[in-house]
A = this chain, B = another copy of it.
Amino acid sequence: MAHSGRRPGESRTRERIATSAQEAFGELGFDGATIRLIAARAGVDPALVHHYFGTKQRLFLSVMNLPFDVAAVKAQLLGPGLPGVGGRLIRYFLSVWDEQPSVRPILTGIVRSATTDPDAASLLRDFLGRQGLFQLVGAIAPDRPELRAVLVGSQLIGLAMGRYIVGIEPLASANPEDLVAAIGPPIERYLTGDLGSG
C-alpha cells in the first residue's frame, strides 16, 4: 500500500484519520465513535474518511491492529518450561495493558465494540481463537485445546473489563504481582490441569 503512488500529503491525512479513529474507538466503542466525530478530530471532511477507508466497519478493522508477535510471546511463556506458565501469561497480559500506552485504547476499543458490533466480536474471537490464544494453548494441551483457550480467554476478558474498562476496585489498583499470584494458578489449571469431565 505504501507504493500505490499516493502523494506524501495523502499518506499523512490517512494516518491522521487512522490515529483519530483508534482514539475514538478506544474511548467510545464502535457505536459511540461516529465517522463525523472521527473526521472532526482529524480535521477532515467525513467524505474523506469514507474515501480512504470505506465503511465504518472497514475503518475499524483497518486501524484496530495489534502489534503482537505470537511466536515470540509463545517462546517467552513456554521457554522456562510448563510450570508457572499461568503466572507468566497473566504477567505478560498485565504488562501489555499497563506498559504499552498505544495498545491499551485499541484493546479497550475491541472489547467495548465487541459487545455490540459483529465485526469487532469476530476480531475478539480471532484474538482468543486461532489467531492468538489458541496457538499458545495448542502447543501445551493435546486434549480439548479449544475449550482450554476460551476458558483462559474468559478470565482474561473479565480481568480486562474489571481492571481497565469498568474499573472495579480493588482490581483496578491491585499490584500486578498480587494478581499474578491470585490468577496465575487458575489460568494454569485451565491450560494444563484436569478440567473435571469430558
Quick check: A168 and B182 within 8 Å, CB to CB?
Answer: no
- Distance to closest chain B CB from A192 (angstroms): 13
- Select one of B114, B115, B162, B185 contacting A189, CB under 8 A: B185
Quick check: B165 and A115 within 8 Å, CB to CB?
Answer: yes
Which residues of B lie under 8 Å from residue A77 when comparing CB positions? Answer: none
Judged by a CB distance under 8 angstroms, whether A105 is at the interface is no
Say whether, besides A125-B166, A153-B158, A154-B162, A147 and B182 are in contact (CB < 8 Å): yes
Judged by a CB distance under 8 angstroms, whether A78 is at the interface is no
- Select one of B28, B163, B181 contacting A116, CB under 8 A: B28
Which residues of B lie under 8 Å from residue A186 when comparing CB positions? Answer: 155, 186, 189-190
Per-residue 0/1 for A169-190: is the Cβ within 8 Å of any B Cβ (1 yes, 0 no)? 1110010011001111110011
How many copies of the chain does the oligomer comprise?
2
Residues of A within 8 A of B (CB): 28-29, 31-32, 111-112, 114-116, 121, 124-125, 128-129, 146-147, 150-151, 153-159, 161-163, 165-171, 174, 177-178, 181-186, 189-190, 195-198
- Distance to closest chain B CB from A29 (angstroms): 5
The secondary-structure label for the interface of chain A is helix
Question: How far does the alpha carbon of A66 sit from the alpha carbon of B60 in the complex, in Å?
Answer: 34
List of 4 A-B pairs having minimum Cβ-Cβ separation, nearest first: A158-B158, A181-B196, A186-B186, A154-B158
Which residues of B lie under 8 Å from residue A28 when comparing CB positions? Answer: 31, 116
Quick check: B167 and A121 within 8 Å, CB to CB?
Answer: yes
Question: How far does the alpha carbon of A171 sit from the alpha carbon of B197 in the complex, in Å?
Answer: 15
- Select one of B112, B158, B166 contacting A155, CB under 8 A: B158
Which residues of B lie under 8 Å from residue A155 when comparing CB positions? Answer: 154-155, 158, 186
